[in-house]
Amino acid sequence: MAHVTGSREGRLRWFPVSKRRKSSETAPKTKVRDIFVARPFEGLADEPEWVALRELVPAASAPLTLKPEIVKEYGDRSVILSTVLPMAWPAMSRRDGKVLIGLQRHVQSGDVSRDLAVAILNALATEPGNTVSVPALPGEGLRLQDLLVDGSLEITMQDGFEYWLDVDQMQDATVKASLERANASIYPTVRMTAAKAAYWCRVAPDKSHIRWVLSEPEDRALDTLSRLSAAGELLLGEDTKFAGMFRAHGLLVPVWDIPGEPEGTDFEAALADFAKRYADTLAVDGPLDAAARRAKQGLIGRQLTLR
Protein backbone atom coordinates (compact mmCIF):
# COMPACT_ATOMS: atom_id res chain seq x y z
CA MET A 1 0.00 0.00 0.00
CA ALA A 2 1.63 3.21 -1.14
CA HIS A 3 -0.09 5.76 1.10
CA VAL A 4 0.50 5.40 4.83
CA THR A 5 0.22 8.99 6.01
CA GLY A 6 -0.97 9.09 9.60
CA SER A 7 0.67 5.83 10.64
CA ARG A 8 2.18 5.46 14.09
CA GLU A 9 5.69 5.69 12.63
CA GLY A 10 4.96 9.12 11.17
CA ARG A 11 3.35 10.46 14.33
CA LEU A 12 6.19 9.52 16.62
CA ARG A 13 8.50 11.90 14.83
CA TRP A 14 6.75 14.65 16.75
CA PHE A 15 8.05 13.16 20.01
CA PRO A 16 11.87 13.00 20.09
CA VAL A 17 13.45 10.31 22.22
CA SER A 18 15.23 11.65 25.27
CA LYS A 19 18.82 10.53 25.76
CA ARG A 20 19.23 7.76 28.27
CA ARG A 21 21.56 8.32 31.18
CA LYS A 22 24.53 6.04 31.19
CA SER A 23 24.51 3.65 34.10
CA SER A 24 27.39 3.89 36.52
CA GLU A 25 26.99 0.29 37.57
CA THR A 26 29.96 -1.92 36.77
CA ALA A 27 28.49 -5.26 37.80
CA PRO A 28 27.77 -7.61 34.87
CA LYS A 29 24.17 -7.59 33.75
CA THR A 30 22.08 -10.69 33.22
CA LYS A 31 21.13 -11.08 29.57
CA VAL A 32 17.37 -10.78 29.10
CA ARG A 33 15.84 -13.08 26.52
CA ASP A 34 13.34 -11.43 24.21
CA ILE A 35 10.16 -13.31 23.37
CA PHE A 36 8.13 -12.59 20.22
CA VAL A 37 4.35 -12.80 20.44
CA ALA A 38 2.66 -12.29 17.08
CA ARG A 39 -0.76 -11.55 18.56
CA PRO A 40 -0.04 -9.82 21.89
CA PHE A 41 -3.60 -8.64 22.62
CA GLU A 42 -5.21 -12.02 21.99
CA GLY A 43 -7.66 -12.95 24.72
CA LEU A 44 -8.67 -9.37 25.51
CA ALA A 45 -12.33 -8.64 24.82
CA ASP A 46 -11.48 -5.55 22.75
CA GLU A 47 -8.42 -6.92 20.96
CA PRO A 48 -9.15 -5.04 17.68
CA GLU A 49 -9.53 -1.73 19.56
CA TRP A 50 -6.19 -2.26 21.33
CA VAL A 51 -4.59 -2.74 17.92
CA ALA A 52 -6.35 0.32 16.50
CA LEU A 53 -5.29 2.57 19.38
CA ARG A 54 -1.72 1.34 19.11
CA GLU A 55 -1.35 1.68 15.34
CA LEU A 56 -4.00 3.92 13.82
CA VAL A 57 -5.47 6.50 16.19
CA PRO A 58 -3.53 9.70 16.94
CA ALA A 59 -5.20 10.83 20.17
CA ALA A 60 -7.51 8.83 22.40
CA SER A 61 -7.69 7.56 25.97
CA ALA A 62 -9.49 4.90 27.98
CA PRO A 63 -9.60 4.05 31.69
CA LEU A 64 -8.26 0.65 32.74
CA THR A 65 -9.45 -1.43 35.69
CA LEU A 66 -6.84 -3.39 37.62
CA LYS A 67 -7.53 -6.78 39.14
CA PRO A 68 -8.15 -6.79 42.90
CA GLU A 69 -4.86 -8.53 43.69
CA ILE A 70 -2.91 -5.82 41.82
CA VAL A 71 -4.80 -3.07 43.67
CA LYS A 72 -4.09 -4.80 46.96
CA GLU A 73 -0.35 -4.89 46.25
CA TYR A 74 0.12 -1.45 44.69
CA GLY A 75 -2.78 0.62 45.97
CA ASP A 76 -5.90 1.95 44.31
CA ARG A 77 -4.61 4.40 41.69
CA SER A 78 -6.36 5.50 38.53
CA VAL A 79 -4.77 4.02 35.38
CA ILE A 80 -5.46 5.59 31.99
CA LEU A 81 -4.52 4.13 28.63
CA SER A 82 -3.28 6.77 26.16
CA THR A 83 -2.45 6.37 22.48
CA VAL A 84 0.79 8.29 23.03
CA LEU A 85 2.53 10.24 25.82
CA PRO A 86 5.05 13.11 25.71
CA MET A 87 8.26 12.07 23.90
CA ALA A 88 6.62 8.64 23.39
CA TRP A 89 7.25 7.75 27.05
CA PRO A 90 5.92 4.34 28.07
CA ALA A 91 4.35 5.65 31.27
CA MET A 92 3.76 8.69 33.49
CA SER A 93 3.08 8.96 37.20
CA ARG A 94 1.29 12.28 37.56
CA ARG A 95 1.46 14.47 40.64
CA ASP A 96 -2.24 13.87 41.29
CA GLY A 97 -1.57 10.12 41.55
CA LYS A 98 -2.98 9.13 38.17
CA VAL A 99 -0.96 6.72 36.05
CA LEU A 100 -0.90 7.11 32.26
CA ILE A 101 0.30 4.31 29.98
CA GLY A 102 1.37 5.01 26.38
CA LEU A 103 0.57 2.47 23.68
CA GLN A 104 2.69 4.09 20.96
CA ARG A 105 6.34 4.14 22.00
CA HIS A 106 9.77 3.93 20.42
CA VAL A 107 11.31 1.14 22.50
CA GLN A 108 9.58 -2.21 22.69
CA SER A 109 10.27 -5.91 23.04
CA GLY A 110 8.76 -8.75 21.03
CA ASP A 111 5.71 -8.91 23.32
CA VAL A 112 3.75 -5.65 23.44
CA SER A 113 1.42 -7.00 26.12
CA ARG A 114 4.37 -7.70 28.41
CA ASP A 115 5.81 -4.23 27.70
CA LEU A 116 2.58 -2.54 28.72
CA ALA A 117 2.21 -4.67 31.85
CA VAL A 118 5.70 -3.73 33.01
CA ALA A 119 4.98 -0.08 32.30
CA ILE A 120 1.85 -0.25 34.44
CA LEU A 121 3.58 -2.03 37.34
CA ASN A 122 6.61 0.29 37.31
CA ALA A 123 4.36 3.35 37.19
CA LEU A 124 2.32 2.05 40.12
CA ALA A 125 5.56 1.56 42.05
CA THR A 126 6.71 5.12 41.27
CA GLU A 127 5.89 8.01 43.60
CA PRO A 128 3.41 10.48 42.07
CA GLY A 129 5.24 13.15 40.09
CA ASN A 130 8.45 11.14 39.62
CA THR A 131 9.82 9.81 36.35
CA VAL A 132 8.87 6.22 35.55
CA SER A 133 11.74 3.91 34.58
CA VAL A 134 10.80 1.08 32.22
CA PRO A 135 13.25 -1.50 30.82
CA ALA A 136 13.57 -1.95 27.06
CA LEU A 137 13.48 -5.74 27.41
CA PRO A 138 11.30 -6.74 30.37
CA GLY A 139 11.81 -10.51 30.11
CA GLU A 140 9.20 -13.03 31.18
CA GLY A 141 6.46 -12.12 33.64
CA LEU A 142 2.94 -10.75 33.97
CA ARG A 143 1.15 -9.48 30.87
CA LEU A 144 -1.82 -7.18 30.35
CA GLN A 145 -4.14 -10.18 30.47
CA ASP A 146 -2.85 -10.90 34.00
CA LEU A 147 -3.30 -7.34 35.30
CA LEU A 148 -6.60 -6.09 33.94
CA VAL A 149 -10.24 -6.76 34.63
CA ASP A 150 -11.12 -7.45 31.01
CA GLY A 151 -13.96 -5.80 29.16
CA SER A 152 -14.80 -3.30 26.46
CA LEU A 153 -12.63 -0.19 26.39
CA GLU A 154 -14.46 3.07 27.13
CA ILE A 155 -12.62 5.05 24.46
CA THR A 156 -12.63 8.84 24.41
CA MET A 157 -11.43 10.44 21.19
CA GLN A 158 -9.32 13.46 22.08
CA ASP A 159 -8.93 16.74 20.18
CA GLY A 160 -5.76 17.56 22.10
CA PHE A 161 -3.28 16.13 24.60
CA GLU A 162 -4.21 18.37 27.53
CA TYR A 163 -5.33 15.24 29.41
CA TRP A 164 -1.64 14.35 29.82
CA LEU A 165 -1.02 17.08 32.36
CA ASP A 166 -1.86 18.19 35.88
CA VAL A 167 -3.67 21.52 36.11
CA ASP A 168 -0.61 23.37 37.49
CA GLN A 169 1.59 22.07 34.64
CA MET A 170 -0.62 23.88 32.15
CA GLN A 171 0.70 27.19 33.48
CA ASP A 172 4.28 26.41 32.40
CA ALA A 173 5.13 28.24 29.15
CA THR A 174 7.56 25.54 27.96
CA VAL A 175 5.03 22.81 28.61
CA LYS A 176 2.32 24.75 26.80
CA ALA A 177 4.56 25.25 23.75
CA SER A 178 5.39 21.55 23.63
CA LEU A 179 1.70 20.69 23.97
CA GLU A 180 0.81 22.96 21.06
CA ARG A 181 3.34 21.16 18.84
CA ALA A 182 1.93 17.79 19.85
CA ASN A 183 -1.64 18.93 19.21
CA ALA A 184 -0.64 20.07 15.73
CA SER A 185 0.24 16.45 14.86
CA ILE A 186 -3.32 15.22 15.42
CA TYR A 187 -5.10 14.53 12.15
CA PRO A 188 -8.94 14.47 12.12
CA THR A 189 -10.16 11.03 13.18
CA VAL A 190 -13.65 9.68 13.87
CA ARG A 191 -14.56 6.39 15.50
CA MET A 192 -17.16 4.70 13.30
CA THR A 193 -20.27 3.08 14.79
CA ALA A 194 -21.14 0.70 11.92
CA ALA A 195 -18.27 -1.66 12.77
CA LYS A 196 -16.15 -2.25 15.85
CA ALA A 197 -12.59 -0.87 15.67
CA ALA A 198 -13.26 1.06 12.45
CA TYR A 199 -11.97 4.61 12.07
CA TRP A 200 -12.30 7.38 9.50
CA CYS A 201 -9.37 9.79 9.20
CA ARG A 202 -8.50 12.68 6.91
CA VAL A 203 -4.97 12.19 5.59
CA ALA A 204 -4.94 15.06 3.07
CA PRO A 205 -7.33 17.86 2.05
CA ASP A 206 -8.59 15.75 -0.86
CA LYS A 207 -8.27 12.26 0.62
CA SER A 208 -9.57 10.35 3.61
CA HIS A 209 -9.26 6.76 4.77
CA ILE A 210 -11.49 4.28 6.50
CA ARG A 211 -9.46 1.67 8.39
CA TRP A 212 -11.11 -1.33 10.02
CA VAL A 213 -9.30 -3.75 12.33
CA LEU A 214 -10.86 -7.16 11.74
CA SER A 215 -11.22 -9.44 14.75
CA GLU A 216 -10.61 -12.77 12.99
CA PRO A 217 -7.17 -14.38 12.63
CA GLU A 218 -5.24 -13.16 9.59
CA ASP A 219 -5.67 -16.26 7.42
CA ARG A 220 -9.42 -16.45 7.86
CA ALA A 221 -9.87 -12.70 7.33
CA LEU A 222 -7.70 -12.78 4.21
CA ASP A 223 -9.70 -15.64 2.68
CA THR A 224 -12.92 -13.73 3.35
CA LEU A 225 -11.60 -10.55 1.74
CA SER A 226 -10.35 -12.62 -1.20
CA ARG A 227 -13.83 -14.04 -1.81
CA LEU A 228 -15.30 -10.52 -1.64
CA SER A 229 -12.67 -9.20 -4.03
CA ALA A 230 -13.33 -11.98 -6.54
CA ALA A 231 -17.04 -11.15 -6.38
CA GLY A 232 -16.39 -7.43 -6.94
CA GLU A 233 -17.75 -6.56 -3.48
CA LEU A 234 -14.69 -5.05 -1.81
CA LEU A 235 -15.50 -1.34 -2.22
CA LEU A 236 -17.48 0.99 0.04
CA GLY A 237 -19.36 2.58 -2.84
CA GLU A 238 -18.72 4.90 -5.76
CA ASP A 239 -15.54 7.02 -5.75
CA THR A 240 -13.94 4.69 -3.17
CA LYS A 241 -10.86 2.54 -3.67
CA PHE A 242 -9.52 -0.43 -1.76
CA ALA A 243 -6.03 0.84 -0.91
CA GLY A 244 -4.64 -2.32 0.67
CA MET A 245 -4.17 -3.74 4.16
CA PHE A 246 -2.07 -3.34 7.25
CA ARG A 247 -0.94 -6.45 9.09
CA ALA A 248 -0.86 -5.45 12.75
CA HIS A 249 -0.30 -7.70 15.77
CA GLY A 250 -1.85 -10.77 14.18
CA LEU A 251 -4.89 -8.99 12.71
CA LEU A 252 -5.69 -7.53 9.30
CA VAL A 253 -6.67 -3.90 8.76
CA PRO A 254 -8.27 -3.22 5.36
CA VAL A 255 -7.95 0.40 4.23
CA TRP A 256 -10.17 2.28 1.79
CA ASP A 257 -9.40 5.57 0.06
CA ILE A 258 -12.47 7.78 0.04
CA PRO A 259 -13.05 11.36 -1.14
CA GLY A 260 -11.67 13.95 1.24
CA GLU A 261 -14.65 16.26 1.44
CA PRO A 262 -17.28 14.03 3.12
CA GLU A 263 -17.02 13.33 6.86
CA GLY A 264 -16.76 9.87 8.41
CA THR A 265 -20.44 9.80 9.32
CA ASP A 266 -21.30 9.98 5.61
CA PHE A 267 -19.88 6.46 5.18
CA GLU A 268 -21.60 4.75 8.11
CA ALA A 269 -24.24 3.14 5.87
CA ALA A 270 -21.67 1.98 3.30
CA LEU A 271 -19.48 0.47 6.03
CA ALA A 272 -22.50 -1.24 7.60
CA ASP A 273 -23.35 -2.80 4.23
CA PHE A 274 -19.78 -4.01 3.78
CA ALA A 275 -19.68 -5.36 7.35
CA LYS A 276 -22.77 -7.46 6.57
CA ARG A 277 -21.22 -8.76 3.34
CA TYR A 278 -18.06 -9.57 5.25
CA ALA A 279 -19.97 -11.43 8.01
CA ASP A 280 -22.01 -13.41 5.44
CA THR A 281 -18.87 -14.35 3.49
CA LEU A 282 -16.98 -15.21 6.66
CA ALA A 283 -19.49 -18.01 7.25
CA VAL A 284 -18.58 -19.67 3.93
CA ASP A 285 -16.56 -22.88 4.41
CA GLY A 286 -14.40 -24.78 1.99
CA PRO A 287 -11.37 -23.98 -0.15
CA LEU A 288 -11.13 -20.83 -2.29
CA ASP A 289 -12.11 -21.16 -5.93
CA ALA A 290 -9.72 -20.13 -8.72
CA ALA A 291 -10.95 -16.52 -8.86
CA ALA A 292 -10.63 -16.07 -5.10
CA ARG A 293 -7.13 -17.59 -5.14
CA ARG A 294 -6.07 -15.08 -7.79
CA ALA A 295 -7.64 -12.28 -5.77
CA LYS A 296 -5.80 -13.48 -2.67
CA GLN A 297 -2.43 -13.19 -4.39
CA GLY A 298 -3.30 -9.64 -5.38
CA LEU A 299 -4.28 -8.74 -1.83
CA ILE A 300 -1.12 -10.25 -0.36
CA GLY A 301 0.90 -7.97 -2.61
CA ARG A 302 -0.86 -4.93 -1.13
CA GLN A 303 -0.07 -5.62 2.52
CA LEU A 304 2.07 -3.50 4.81
CA THR A 305 3.20 -4.90 8.16
CA LEU A 306 3.16 -2.58 11.19
CA ARG A 307 5.46 -3.44 14.06
Q: What distance in Å separates the CA atoms of residue 303 and residue 243, rounded to the nearest whole number?
A: 9
Give me the pLDDT at residue 6, please.
45
Can you tell me the mean pLDDT for 147-164?
A: 95
Give me the pLDDT at residue 29, please.
59
Query: Amino acid identity of 151?
Result: G
What is the rounded average pLDDT for all residues in the chain?
Answer: 88
Can you tell me the mean pLDDT for 273-289?
A: 97
Give me the pLDDT at residue 34, please.
83
Can you tell me the mean pLDDT for 210-232?
A: 97
Give me the pLDDT at residue 9, please.
41
Can you tell me the mean pLDDT for 263-275?
A: 93
- Percent above pLDDT 90 for the chain: 72
Can you tell me the mean pLDDT for 40-49?
A: 97
Beta bridge partners of 306: 248
Q: Is the pLDDT of residue 169 over 90?
A: no
Q: Is the pLDDT of residue 1 over 50?
A: no
CA distances to 194, 228, 270 from 274, in Å: 10, 10, 6
Choose between 48 and 140: higher pLDDT: 48
User: What digits encode the pLDDT tens for the residues 178-196?
Assistant: 788 889 989 999 999 999 9
> Is residue 294 very low, low, confident or very high in pLDDT (cuts 50, 70, 90)?
very high
Q: Is the dihedral of CA 65, 59, 182, 7 positive or negative?
A: positive
Total residue length of the chain: 307
User: What digits encode the pLDDT tens for the residues 99-117?
Assistant: 999 999 988 899 999 999 9
**Phi and psi at residue 246, to the nearest 5°:** -90, 145
Q: Is the pLDDT of residue 289 over 70?
A: yes
> Is residue 307 very low, low, confident or very high in pLDDT (cuts 50, 70, 90)?
low
Can you tell me the mean pLDDT for 54-58?
A: 96
CA distances to 47, 151, 251, 260, 271 from 214, in Å: 10, 18, 6, 24, 13
Give me the pLDDT at residue 78, please.
96
Choose between 59 and 176: higher pLDDT: 59
Q: Is the pLDDT of residue 20 over 90?
A: no
Give me the pLDDT at residue 210, please.
97
CA distances to 175, 195, 220, 226 from 188, in Å: 23, 19, 31, 30
